[in-house]
Amino acid sequence: MLYHCLAMDKHQLQKELEKSRAELWMFYEIGNLMRTTLKLEEILYIILTCVTSHEGLGFNRAMLFLVNERKKTLEGKVGIGPDTAEEAEKIWKRIEAEKTTLKDLISIYKAFIKRKGSRLDKVVKSIKVPLRESGGILALTVLEGMTFEITTDEVSKKVKDPICALLKTEHFVTVPLKAKDKTIGIILVDNIFTKEPITKDDIRILTMFANQAGLAIENSHLYEKTVSLSHSDSLTNLINHGRFQYLLSRDLKHAAKLKKPASLLMIDIDNFKNFNDILGHPAGDMVLINIAKILKKACRSTDIVARYGGEEFIVALFDTNKESAWGLAERLRQAVEKFDFPGQEIQPDKNLTISLGLASFPEDAKNKAQLISKADSALYQAKAAGKNRTHIYSAAIEQR
């Protein structure tokens, strides 16, 4: 009898050991995959693919939400999973027949983006939940920093959360994504098609995975913040000269391919040296900051607004002809002219103003260097003609 019990214990121990080895190997593989990129969108896709893959955690569907600290909301970012039971069956059969690995599934990220996700992905991206108790289970997962298990009919009936109806789910689990003792988002999983119960063991593994995923997301945030800082002017927060040159090259190629016009505004602050010499550089810095805000506010989100250097700014306008660009240039000039800059009364005209030069592609220039040169030439003419004005490039200007 004792021998039989010892044999049973040994057999059970062996099973537990094999299970632990499989879990460790899975986490090792997932960790390697999450280290292949620092781009946030790719990281989120990898995380949810690991949650739903048969080689990963194997849930039917997974949805990921991240905290927007500025807006105090929880926002849907990615949803991965079939839209119907029929589609699920087809996908799982194909995966089994083709012996598709987790690495294979992650490699199709570009295809996922190209077809703009799935129906589930679109629904998830439409969700924005306020971070307060009235925000329901998703918000509570963040606020409490703990897992919520809605895994039985009894509990499901007590939950009256509109998100459940939107996601068409009754039995699910939400786990917090944590980094440095702070909840930065959540993962929601369910087995909507197979109806397999979500066990305590499933939740334990999912929680362990969420901790790993939270750190990967935090690293991605830090990377993207570093990249953003390297592309920005530290004073005005506009795009800097180097980044502008890259974006202009890229977008002019795009404009040429689509046979679309583009326009460029070169902008200079009038008599800025006088302002700096009398009031000092801190006052001059405030002028640069305020003008950057005026330019950014007046331009479209698709326009590229940059600090070109010193007191010069530059604005690239795509799918914009010369006439439309002229209209914007004049609005910018008038907005600066009307702005009440502290200390502007020391300027020659008792006002702080800007001059602008305008050139267009492909009408005036065939490439980036020519376009910048033509806009700069037009700006020079605006300054020479008396300042506080917009000049449009023409060949006649350079022949004088």
The residues annotated as belonging to the active site are 311
**CA distances in angstroms from 377 to 87, 139, 240, 318, 380, listed in the order given:** 61, 56, 21, 20, 5
Question: Is-cis flag, bond preceding 176, omega within 30?
Answer: no
Token pair of 351 as six digits: 């006002």
Q: Measured between alpha carbons, how far is 318 from 255 in angstroms, rounded to an integer?
A: 7
* The three-state (H, E, C) secondary structure of the chain, written as one string: CHHHHHHHHHHHHHHHHHHHHHHHHHHHHHHHHHCCCCCHHHHHHHHHHHHHCCCCCCCCEEEEEEEECCCCEEEEEEEECCCCHHHHHHHHHHHHHHCCCHHHHHHCHHHHHHCCCCHHHHHHHCCEEECCHHHHHHHHHHHHCCCEEECCHHHHHHCCCHHHHHHCCCCEEEEEEEECCEEEEEEEEECCCCCCCCCHHHHHHHHHHHHHHHHHHHHHHHHHHHHHHHCECCCCCCECHHHHHHHHHHHHHHHHHHCCCEEEEEEEECCHHHHHHHHCHHHHHHHHHHHHHHHHHHCCCCCEEEEEECCEEEEEEECCCHHHHHHHHHHHHHHHHHCCCCCHHHCCCCCCCEEEEEEEECCCCCCHHHHHHHHHHHHHHHHHCCCCCEEECCHHHHHC
